[in-house]
Amino acid sequence: MEHEFNEAADQPVLRATDHDGIAVVEIAGELDMKTAKTALAEVLLVLDQSPNGIVVDLHAVTFFGSAGVSLLVSVQQEAGRQGVPFGIVAVHKAVTRSLTVSGMESRLPLFPTVADAVIALRAASPPPRR
């Protein structure tokens, strides 16, 4: 699975890749009130494909406002409803500052790298259905 989404130039670029059953959705660009709704819809489309886990990779996000925090909480809630392990790669200050100010850094499953997140989610996911 490799998909790239970009409806308009002012929307963030999303790229979804498969890591042996774990979906990694990389978001690049700005996540604000104008763009987060589209990004959320695209991440939920990937989640609807029933991956063994989903990672939202924010390493290429250049602006991350409260709408971005809401996006992550929404994905976490939907992943929980579906029983899909969830993780976030967040290392840049553009993202971590908003997560700290909102108090969400301790409530969201944060990882320093995609590899770390994939390993953790693979360990947490149920065995694949055959």
Mean pLDDT of the 4-20 span: 74
Domain boundaries, the chain: 2-120
Query: pLDDT category, 11, cuts 50, 70, 90?
Result: confident
Residue 125 pLDDT = 75
Mean pLDDT of the 47-61 span: 96
| Short-list 11, 24, 19, CA closest to 111 | 24
Residue 130 pLDDT = 47
Query: pLDDT category, 13, cuts 50, 70, 90?
Result: confident
Higher pLDDT, 127 or 62: 62
Domain spanning 2-120: which superfamily?
STAS domain (3.30.750.24)
- Does 128 have pLDDT greater than 70? no
Cβ atoms within 10 Å, residue 42: 22
Max Cα distance, the chain (Å): 44
Sign of CA dihedral 17, 28, 86, 116: positive
Q: How many whole angstroms separate alpha carbon 21 and alpha carbon 84? A: 11
For the segment 73-120, what is each residue's pLDDT rounded down to a tens digit? 999 999 999 999 999 999 989 899 999 999 999 999 999 999 999 999
